[in-house]
Amino acid sequence: MPNPSKPRPVDALFGDENAPALPNYIVEPAQPVTTVAPPPPDAAPPPSTAAQGAPDIPAATPAPAPPSFGPDMPTPEPIIVPRAQPRDFEDRFAPLAERIERLYGEVKMDLHDSKVATDFCFGLLREARQAVDARDYARAEFCIQSVDAKLKRAQRSMKAAFSFGTIFLTLWELIMLAVGGGLVALTYVVNLTLFGLPVVAELLVLVRAVGWGMVGGGFGALFNLPWFIQFREYDPAYALNYFLRPFVGALLGAILFLVSQAGILAGNLVVGDVKVGPIFLYVFAVLAGFKQEYVGEFFDGVMRAMFRAPKSKA
């Protein structure tokens, strides 16, 4: 039988005056959900809340804002990037190095007996090699074409050097030297007469100037002809120039005689009691015949200065 003095659990449900009071339980309403939004991209992250003893990690430094260009600050110049050469342009000049190697062999084969021509071609090929390394293809192509043209001229010069025309020109210049020397020697004949009449002194000076000019022209032709053959630059088109060179020298001697008669050039030279004559006239006649190009340029400049003619660019 149950003990009435002992409280029963059922009495707490249905009530019992002697039952002890139950504990008060309070049910709280649900808390609202908190929404967490991510920080903006430019905002710095919050400082680290690491545990005690962990190393501190520095916060990220925000990127500096781009500078604003105002009226007082100059605008930077744009960077110009060189445009790359097209592929077909590179392929066009790709064989230049092989062409240089081939020309080295051709020069050693064709111009081995001429040091002057060989050194000239080797200098151009070296310049072409440097231009290829520097990608200066225009300069490299120019040097290569110059050496190629030089080799072709050398072949033509070697063929013409032993031709009949060159041998005839050599003999012709020797004959003109003899003729010019004969004219000079003829004026020193004692009691020289012309058609039975004595020859005046001025005519003797003219003949001597013409003779010395002819000697200078023949000597200049004999000097230039072997030089151009040795350099492999002899051009048969200049054959007429070599043929007429002694006559041009004689004409220059006559012109210098007229200049001497006008008093511009030195006249007779007297050493003590001996009258030597216009020795400077003869010297200038020989030099004018030898270097006819310089005399032509000199007279051309004098005539332009006298008649106010503009100097041509050529």
Q: How confident is the model at residue 49 (pLDDT cuts 50, 70, 90)?
A: very low
For residue 262, being part of any structural domain is answered with yes
Please check the confidence at residue 217 and state whether its pLDDT lies above 70. yes
185 versus 95: the higher-pLDDT residue is 185
For residue 84, being part of any structural domain is answered with no
Could you tell me if 166 and 156 lie in one domain? no
Please check the confidence at residue 48 and state whether its pLDDT lies above 70. no
For residue 23, being part of any structural domain is answered with no
Structural domain tally of the chain?
A: 2
- The pLDDT assigned to 170 comes to 92
30-34, 35-39, 66-70, 247-251: which has the minimum mean pLDDT? 66-70
Please check the confidence at residue 201 and state whether its pLDDT lies above 60. yes
Could you tell me if 175 and 280 lie in one domain? yes
Using a pLDDT cut of 90, give the percent of the chain over it: 22
How many Cβ atoms are within 10 Å of 275's Cβ, its own excluded? Answer: 9
Please check the confidence at residue 130 and state whether its pLDDT lies above 80. yes
Expressed as residue numbers, the domain containing 111 is 89-160
Could you tell me if 146 and 279 lie in one domain? no
For residue 127, being part of any structural domain is answered with yes
101-110, 226-235, 258-267: which has the minimum mean pLDDT? 258-267
For residue 83, being part of any structural domain is answered with no
206 CA to centre of own chain: 51
51 versus 303: the higher-pLDDT residue is 303
The token pair that represents 302 in the structure block: 């004098």
230 CA to centre of own chain: 27
Please state, rounded to an integer, the average pLDDT across all residues of the chain: 76
For residue 156, being part of any structural domain is answered with yes
Using a pLDDT cut of 70, give the percent of the chain over it: 63
Boundary of a domain, candidates 131, 160, 189: 160
- The pLDDT assigned to 50 comes to 47
Could you tell me if 108 and 177 lie in one domain? no
For residue 10, being part of any structural domain is answered with no
Question: Which pLDDT tens digit goes with each residue over 222-254?
Answer: 999 888 888 888 888 888 999 999 999 999 999
Q: Which backbone phi and psi does 5 adopt, to 5 degrees?
A: -80, -15
The token pair that represents 296 in the structure block: 């032509």
Could you tell me if 127 and 198 lie in one domain? no
262 versus 98: the higher-pLDDT residue is 98
For residue 51, being part of any structural domain is answered with no
Boundary of a domain, candidates 138, 160, 182: 160
Please check the confidence at residue 4 and state whether its pLDDT lies above 70. no
Average pLDDT over residues 10-28: 56
Could you tell me if 299 and 288 lie in one domain? yes
- The pLDDT assigned to 45 comes to 55
- Nearest Cα neighbor of 100 from 145, 134, 136, 138 is 145
HSE at residue 222, side-chain half, CA atoms within 13 A, is: 15
Burial label, 237 (beta-carbon count in 10 A; 0-12, 13-18, 19+): exposed
Please check the confidence at residue 147 and state whether its pLDDT lies above 80. yes
- The pLDDT assigned to 313 comes to 63
Please check the confidence at residue 51 and state whether its pLDDT lies above 50. no
Could you tell me if 156 and 281 lie in one domain? no
111-120, 194-203, 242-251, 268-277: which has the minimum mean pLDDT? 268-277
